[in-house]
């Protein structure tokens, strides 16, 4: 019997590669996405607790903004790029284990800090929680790079945009649960909500470790090492080439402008809806209510309505991802998403109509689905696969400068434009503590006083109007990206299988 030819043997081997099995591919996607779910949950866990931070711990909006901003600080010192380079050099397995553990440890340190383990004074708690957030931030952003790189490894040439879209959906689902139910989980105690969120990251880390079995098997089948070969290892000139590519510059700047107008807003959205439109922080007793009354109560709750923004991406992101796979038009869709961003923030800053506010939140949810579904697969077209770790890391690093500025900046501007609210909150809190009330009772009493107008509301007009400017910048950059693609021919407007 004749021996099979080398070509036939190669074809036979190719048929046995596990990533060619759609069930295996999507099983892998599910396993690694749980870590994304947990990190997004923890990242957004503080937003619905802003009122508790003010009433229970005595934080100002500036201090709250400082706390949420601190997750970006280490990455301003290029830690994400270091992680991306490590990913390109040492591979998914070694880098991933370290990053997942760093994020988990940082999250638990924040939770412990909120319990007063490292000191019970306001400054001690703030400093210890900031330390944990910094550590969590190192793991957070670089873990996102890791997961993006892993998805490309398993899905490039197949359902790449859909897979990235589904991964975004899982992350947004984490945001939805954190924003919508974080206050319910807290039960009046900040630490309860944070311990829950940190534990979910721990579960994601365990599932990522289980995924590594698949990763090892795939590398054995393909004969490709998880670590970069000697000739493929990172060189400084690769970074120089990356940051001098016109299309990469535009998509990176678009990334920072767009996400700086979305992620910081989500942290303040529950408080904005309560202060601007008279929504509530807590849900009433739904017993005895009709279905329509329950829906009305839900739609008047700040955290619940804010949670609908990331929830909407669960439906729309995969649809838009599939659209990019089949029809292309990624750059054009980024233009459309930026237009929706402007509309959303105008309705929530300059206008005072509740119905238009709802339409603005809906538009923001669509934009939040549309732009990521088009942006992340486009990066894989602009950058060669072996440098994607460095590329995504560079983008996340640039993004963190914007996030850091606006996480803190919104809170700072809010304090500057509402000094009367700060003074009233301070005096009321001191008076209630002097009466012997505990932290939970103080928080409940302040919420009651807010509801009846005894404590003035924050005016969010100027802080949110700043985000409209980011939308204008996003449109400009999306058009520039579209023009650059015409010259560089990366195929951003073409379907995934025709690039």
Strand partners of residue 279: none
Using DSSP, state whether 183 is helix, strand or coil.
helix
> Cα separation of 317 and 166, whole Å?
7
Q: Which residues of the chain have pLDDT under 50?
A: 1-4, 6-14, 229-231
Residue 70 makes CB contacts below 8 A (sequence gap 6+) with: 130, 133, 134, 137
Distance in angstroms between the alpha carbons of the first and the last residue of the chain: 43
379 to 170, 398, 416: CA distances (angstroms): 20, 15, 39
339 exposure class (CB count in 10 Å sphere: 0-12, 13-18, 19+): middle
**Which pLDDT belongs to residue 9?**
46
Helix/strand/coil for 172: helix
- Contact, 69 vs 204, CB < 8 A? no
SS3 call for 120: coil
The C-alpha angle 161, 164, 168, rounded to 5 degrees, equals: 135
State the Cα–Cα distance between residues 426 and 422, nearest whole angstrom: 6
| Phi, psi (deg, nearest 5) at residue 282 | -110, 150
Place of tokens 């390109």: 88
* Residue 182 · residue 303 · CB < 8 Å: yes
Burial 23-34 (b: 16+ CB within 10 A, else e): ebbbebbebbbb
- Closest Cα to residue 154, out of 23, 11, 36, 40? 23
* Alpha-carbon gap, residue 444 to 24, rounded angstroms: 49
* Residue listed under structure tokens 């995934």: 496
Helix (H/G/I), strand (E/B), else coil: 387:
helix
pLDDT at residue 178 in the model? 93
pLDDT for the residue 499: 55
| Phi, then psi, of 391 in degrees rounded to 5 | -65, -50
Instruction: State residue 233's pLDDT score.
Output: 54
**Contact in structure between 70 and 137 (CB atoms under 8 Å):** yes
Residue 472 structure tokens: 């204008």
Buried b / exposed e over 409-442, threshold 16 CB at 10 Å, is bbbbbbbeebeebbebbeebbeebeeeeeebebb
Tokens of 312: 């909407």
By the 8 A CB rule, do 377 and 320 touch?
Answer: no
List the CATH code of the domain at 19-418+458-498: 1.20.1250.20
**Long-range contact set of residues 7-15: C-beta below 8 Å, sequence gap at least 24:** 13/221
Which of helix, strand or coil describes residue 494?
Answer: coil
pLDDT of residue 225: 60
Residue 110's pLDDT is what? Answer: 95
Q: Residue 233 has what DSSP assignment?
A: S
User: Measuring CA to CA, which residue among 50, 89, 289, 276 is closest to residue 179?
Assistant: 50
């Amino acid at each position: 019997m004749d021996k099979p030819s080398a070509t036939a043997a190669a074809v036979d081997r190719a048929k046995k590669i596990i990533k060619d099995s759609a069930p295996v591919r999507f099983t892998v996607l599910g396993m690694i996405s749980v870590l994304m779910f947990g990190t997004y949950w923890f990242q957004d866990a503080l937003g619905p607790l802003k009122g508790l931070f003010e009433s229970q711990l005595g934080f100002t909006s500036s201090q709250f903004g400082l706390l949420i901003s601190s997750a970006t600080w280490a990455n301003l010192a290029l830690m994400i790029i270091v992680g991306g380079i490590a990913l390109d050099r040492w591979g998914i397995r070694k880098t991933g284990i370290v990053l997942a553990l760093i994020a988990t440890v940082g999250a638990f340190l924040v939770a412990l800090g909120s319990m007063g383990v490292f000191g019970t004074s306001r400054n001690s708690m703030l400093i210890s929680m900031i330390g944990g957030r910094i550590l969590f931030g190192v793991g957070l952003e670089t873990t996102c790079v890791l997961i993006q790189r892993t998805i490309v490894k398993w899905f490039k040439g197949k359902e790449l945009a859909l897979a990235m879209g589904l991964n975004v959906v899982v992350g947004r689902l984490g945001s939805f649960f954190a924003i919508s139910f974080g206050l319910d989980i807290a039960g009046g105690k900040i630490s309860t909500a944070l311990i829950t969120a940190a534990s979910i990251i721990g579960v994601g880390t365990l599932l990522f470790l289980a995924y590594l079995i698949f990763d090892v098997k795939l590398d054995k089948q393909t004969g490709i090492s998880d670590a970069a070969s000697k000739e493929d290892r990172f060189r400084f000139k690769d970074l120089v080439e990356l940051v001098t590519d016109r299309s990469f510059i535009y998509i990176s700047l678009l990334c920072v402008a767009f996400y700086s107008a979305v992620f910081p807003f989500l942290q303040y959205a529950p408080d904005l809806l309560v202060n601007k439109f008279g929504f509530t922080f807590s849900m009433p007793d739904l017993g005895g209510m009709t279905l329509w009354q329950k829906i009305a109560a839900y739609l008047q709750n700040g955290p619940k309505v804010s949670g609908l923004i990331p929830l909407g991406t669960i439906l729309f992101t995969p649809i838009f991802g599939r659209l990019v796979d089949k029809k292309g038009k990624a750059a054009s869709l980024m233009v459309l998403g930026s237009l929706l961003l402007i509309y959303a923030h105008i309705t929530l800053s300059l206008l005072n109509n509740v119905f238009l506010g709802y339409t603005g939140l809906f538009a923001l949810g669509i934009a939040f689905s549309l732009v990521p579904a088009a942006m992340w697969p486009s990066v894989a077209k602009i950058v060669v696969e072996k440098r994607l770790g460095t590329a995504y890391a560079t983008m996340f690093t640039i993004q963190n400068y914007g996030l850091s500025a606006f996480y803190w900046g919104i809170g700072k501007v809010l304090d500057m434009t509402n000094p009367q609210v700060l003074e009233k909150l301070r005096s009321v809190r001191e008076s209630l503590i002097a009466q012997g009330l505990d932290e939970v009772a103080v928080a409940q009493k302040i919420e009651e006083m807010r509801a009846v107008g005894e404590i003035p509301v924050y005016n969010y007009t100027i802080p949110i109007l700043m985000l409209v400017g980011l939308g204008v910048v996003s449109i400009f950059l999306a058009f520039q990206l579209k023009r650059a693609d015409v010259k560089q021919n990366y195929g951003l407007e073409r379907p995934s299988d025709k690039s």
